[in-house]
């Protein structure tokens, strides 16, 4: 962010704090504190909060200020459904545009995930998941899809990271990613879209399982 204007860098930093979970759901966002922390003027902070509200990451109430928006399970599942529809399109486009460099990168990510699982590092394996989806999007070469999917993901990332707790989910996820990669590499758009649809349906099931486990504990 060093090359970004200060106000844009501050917005990006605040967005990252929310998406990463370091600023949790319902946490208050006080303009004066953010202005000092992010080294931004109050007007710039206010504009950053407006942008984040438009992205669904922040909610503002009159006389009560802003806070990190809490996304419930039912909304998270709706967001995943919307994301699945978009990523099906991305997988289909990627299959039509795959080249040797893209194939090599996809297989590298799969291999890295396999190595992380073999080492028992579930968190590292989970970190590779967005890399693979990001690579499919890069191959698909659609700025519109990338932007829309990024906005959806930002609202549900805290749900998705919990899925590593589902017994056997990491291995199944790797197999599902492998099916996506093989279909994309083969240039089979319909198979790639179907594999992506199945994968994200299973992600939604895992998110639901985690939510039920949390409510039962």
Domain boundaries, the chain: 6-68, 73-216
Six token digits for residue 104: 């090599």
Q: Average pLDDT, whole number, for the chain?
A: 90
Low-confidence ranges of the chain (pLDDT < 50): none
Distance between CA atoms of residues 104 and 87, nearest Å: 20
> Residue 65 forms beta bridges with which residues?
61
CA angle 163/169/173 to nearest 5° reads: 100
DSSP code of 22? S
CATH class as words, domain 73-216: mainly alpha
Distance between CA atoms of residues 115 and 108, nearest Å: 10
pTM (predicted TM-score): 0.81
Q: Is residue 32 classed exposed, middle or buried when 0-12, 13-18 and 19+ CB atoms within 10 A define those classes?
A: exposed
User: Which H or E run includes 49?
Assistant: helix 42-54
pLDDT, position 161? 72
pLDDT, position 86? 98
Asked if 193 and 89 touch (Cβ cutoff 8 Å), the reply is yes
pLDDT, position 24? 81
CATH class as words, domain 6-68: mainly alpha
pLDDT, position 216? 66
pLDDT, position 217? 57
Q: How far is CA 61 from the centre of its chain?
A: 26
pLDDT, position 151? 87
Asked if 200 and 83 touch (Cβ cutoff 8 Å), the reply is yes
């Amino acid at each position: 962010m060093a090359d970004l204007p200060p106000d844009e860098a501050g917005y990006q930093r605040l967005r990252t704090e929310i998406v990463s979970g370091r600023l949790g759901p319902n946490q208050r966002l006080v303009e004066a504190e953010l202005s000092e922390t992010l080294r931004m003027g109050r007007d710039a902070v206010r504009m950053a909060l407006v942008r984040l509200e438009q992205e669904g990451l922040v909610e503002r109430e009159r006389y009560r200020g802003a806070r990190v928006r809490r996304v419930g399970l039912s909304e998270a599942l709706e967001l995943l459904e919307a994301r699945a529809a978009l990523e099906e399109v991305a997988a289909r486009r990627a299959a039509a545009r795959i080249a040797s460099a893209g194939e090599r990168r996809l297989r590298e990510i799969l291999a890295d995930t396999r190595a992380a699982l073999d080492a028992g590092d579930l968190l590292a394996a989970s970190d590779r998941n967005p890399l693979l989806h990001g690579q499919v999007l890069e191959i698909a070469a659609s700025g519109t899809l990338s932007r829309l999917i990024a906005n959806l993901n930002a609202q549900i990332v805290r749900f998705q990271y919990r899925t590593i707790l589902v017994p056997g989910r990491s291995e199944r996820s790797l197999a599902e990613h492998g099916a996506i990669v093989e279909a994309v590499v083969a240039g089979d758009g319909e198979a790639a879209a179907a594999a992506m649809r199945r994968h994200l349906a299973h992600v939604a099931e895992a998110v639901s399982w985690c939510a039920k486990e949390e409510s039962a504990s």
